[in-house]
Chain A
């Protein structure tokens, strides 16, 4: 006695696995028809036939030479199906499988499942407009162009011939009554549907048409089934996932649990050397217990993640197998970070204050001329980044990208200024993760408070002003994508708390609250006079803004009082 489901197996390699699978199904009562690629040598073929010779419900059908994406695969399936229907009258459902398939659930569960749906055809069949995959940039054109060249081995000719046909506006007519559909080539069809397809009086006509359709094994049954099926479920009972290059994902021993929990009946494609998978799922005494619906969502997710990693990668990561061209980074850095320029010059305890307000790691001048001033004056930071200025300046972009990548999960803030290494300005300005806040001209404050001679100050002021001017030009560029704020020093000091509030809110939008504590502004008494003295030396001061010379009244006094008013 045989079961109501019969299997066709198409195979070309790892024939010992085919023998194992065929034996498994046959010994559980299901008839099996095997199609072996004609390219397989006589010795291997002989070995396979003798390995299953003791099973009288296993037979071999006429052999075709099979090439990927050609009619030969459909011809092989047809031959197998005809033989199955003719020899095994008890079979109601015919299941098309490959030599790399592995049954995940006991045969009885599949039989019960199909017995409960005796008239249903399981075949993925999707209209061409709805399929997401269009291999080689061809979708509906699969049905309307001619494809005499192999996509795998004659790619150039293939592409050129497609382009030529497009240019000439060539179109094949689709035979009447056919509505093109596509889908996975692994199906499970009822005797009624299958025999209707195979015995159709117009079969010769359809065959002539489909022989020249591209990848007919994904289209022939998928299209014709729409003509005859009484009840069609557009899904495959075989768990088979393809990646972005159209190659099937492969299952290994470490997928055991994943496969077990998927509740799918058959999985493809299994690595032939995955001994543990074969041993587990083909174990003789597995009990039929469950009527669960197949649930491949976990497997889907795993493979979707893999494709995502291969095509998009992890944002902000530069490594040996991901080194994007400029503009193709999909994230120049991995997380938001903040750059402050001019704030430590204006406020005495800005680092500590900022750390308290936003709960971030606040570094000093990471790109300082002497060393990378990591938070807490450390000499090495996350990822073993060294504070050596030479190492850092050898590749500043790697340094910054690594710093942000290494401390994912913790926001990084650092100080910047015209004394620092400037070569990264274009990179940070174009990085949407960067928040850049600049108070221009603030570099003059340390000079104002320094002990240098006036000539030295004059010289240094001219140098720093030029550097900052160039930097601001970059920040104003149309290519800038960072969140950028630039104030002149006098502008900033008109409303320092509002300005700080805006920056802090942007860093930590969720705990937005009024700043209750202000950083201490350095004593600027006499600063206006200092700037005037520089001007009197012939310098054109462009970036600090206007400070009155009789500056003993502090220009910022009213604005600073703000938080204290709020707090009461």
Chain B
């Protein structure tokens, strides 16, 4: 890497950190329970808006994995999410009415919280509809993974997003608070993903799955990115660039092996396609706060109007992480 390139990336990273620093004023703390965090705790960082219905299962899922504290930015919820989160003993809550889009889809706020509270911890940055799955997650708690990563000095762990969907129209079976969303949305695409390498930040760019197949078949470049690096042993100078798709310093993005071997990796089961989706899509288009003028939501609304079935006869029904590993969507690497 040339000096010029190094300086450019460094400048970019400093700018991201400065943005995060400026945006900290937009956050007002409603509940600061960060004093309860101990040195070895694994922390979850989340931005959300009006996700009350999903929160009970979300919190339970990560508590059972062994997460000890949640640091959440509430971006103007008015459905009771705020009150619900305030009542949780392991949640620290910040609230903002500021623009999600102008905070670079919330990542400025998260970068700030990560820097302030995540430094020195293993941090898991996920949305409320993302559920982290890693090798042996049914028999080993999450600190087994992070302890193992520590012995190998691995600082970032990849988990590709896997879009989960139900069989039949998405709004057919209503989701009730506390339910496991993957009881109904238990199907996924097993092997229709495309990968390319981003020459600038060295991350892999993965697209595909039901969203590419159903909503972006005629403009595949616009299909959403599925690559993510949600689990990071945070250090002070780190910064996510856009969502958790890529970060700086860019060495953290090379979570893949280029010599034929497999590094260890996981998946984020993405419970996007659960009811009520239509309402959510309508609201998000109205707000226009999502990436590129909420183009993703606009694409959904065009297709959702005709009640599509994402399911097809080749869809895989989710069983467990071992199935994902056999299908080649994630890998145990040399963890046995």
Contacts and interface: CB of A to CB of B under 8 A. Distances in A.
A386 B191 contact: no
A205 interface: no
A141 interface: no
B334 A243 contact: yes
B261 A383 contact: no
A252 to B, nearest CB: 5
A386 B330 contact: no
A309 interface: yes
Interface stretch (B112-120, B204-212, B272-280, B281-289): B204-212
Contact of A324 (B190, B191, B260, B335): B260
B334 A309 contact: yes
Nearest to A402: B191
A59 B304 CA distance: 73
Contacts of B333: 306, 309-310, 321
A319 interface: yes
B82 to A, nearest CB: 35
Contacts of B148: 250
Interface string B202-226: 0010101110110001111100000
Given A321-B265, A391-B212, A402-B191, A382 B331 contact: no
Interface centre among A325, A398, A406 (most CB of B within 10 A): A398
Given A271-B144, A273-B144, A402-B191, A384 B213 contact: yes
Interface residues of B, number: 59
A391 B189 CA distance: 15
B261 A310 contact: yes
A319 B141 contact: no
Given A314-B328, A384-B213, A405-B191, A306 B262 contact: no
Given A247-B151, A314-B328, A388-B217, A383 B189 contact: yes
A512 interface: no
Chain B interface main SS type: loop
Interface centre among A311, A319, A320 (most CB of B within 10 A): A320
Interface string A219-260: 000000000000000000000000111010110111000000
B195 interface: yes
Interface stretch (B4-12, B88-96, B125-133, B310-318): B310-318
Interface in A363-387: 380-386
A109 interface: no
A328 interface: yes
Contact of B334 (A244, A382, A385, A386): A244
A249 B334 CA distance: 9
Nearest to B66: A273
Nearest to B260: A330
A273 B332 CA distance: 20
A254 B135 CA distance: 12
B158 A303 contact: no
B196 A395 contact: yes
